[in-house]
Amino acid sequence: MHPRTQATFAELERADWFAAVGVVDTAAAVVLSSWPEAVAHCGSSAWQDLMLEARNQYCERLVERSQERFSQWNEIVVPLKALTMPLVARKTTDVCARHQLPKIFVGTVQWDILHVCMEAEYADVYPPGFYASQAYWYVKGHFPCGWQGEFPNGKLIVY
C-alpha cells in the first residue's frame, strides 16, 4: 500500500464518523435531518448509479493514462478491501445498532471507503476526485448519501 493511502486510511481511522449527522454546519451541501431520510437517499437508484458512474469514470481515466497500472486494480483492491471492511465495521456497528440501519447503509459506506483508498492508491496516475470528496464528509462527521440536481450541477446531500 502506498504511503499516501496509508495516510488516508489513518485519517479515516482517527475521524469520528457520524458525529455531526443532522448538524447544519455547511452551505456546501444539503443537510438532511434524519436517518430514515439518509437511508432513503443512499439506497436510491439515482445515488447508487452516480456512485457506480464515478467509479467507472475514474477507471476510464486510469486506463487512458496507464493501462499497465490499471491492470493491477484487482491486485490492489483485494488487500485494501481486507483493511477497509473491518474499519467500516468498527465505525458503523454502534450507529447501526442504535438506529436499526439497514445493510444498504453499511454497503454504501464500504463502497465509499474502499474507493477513497483506491483513489489514493492511484493518485499518481489520476488525481482523486469524487471519492476523496466523500472522505471529507466522513471526516467531518457526516454521511454523504445523495445528490440534488443534475450532476455535476447541484449539491451533495449529507446527513
Give the integer Cα–Cα distance in Å for 86 and 149.
34
Average pLDDT over residues 70-85: 97
28 part of a folded domain: no
Q: Give the confidence band of 66 by pLDDT, cuts at 50, 70, 90.
A: very high
Domain limits at 84?
A: 33-158
**pTM for the predicted model, two decimal places:** 0.95
Q: How many domains does the chain have?
A: 1
110 part of a folded domain: yes
Predicted pLDDT at 94: 97
The residues, any chain, with a CB within 8 Å of residue 121's CB and separated by 6 or more, are: 1, 2, 4, 5, 76, 80
Q: Name the residue with cell 474507493.
A: 115
Average pLDDT over residues 119-147: 97
Give the integer Cα–Cα distance in Å for 141 and 153.
24
25 part of a folded domain: no
Average pLDDT over residues 16-28: 97
**Is the bond preceding residue 128 a cis peptide, omega within 30 degrees?**
no
For residues 84 and 94, is the Cβ–Cβ distance under 8 A? no
18 part of a folded domain: no
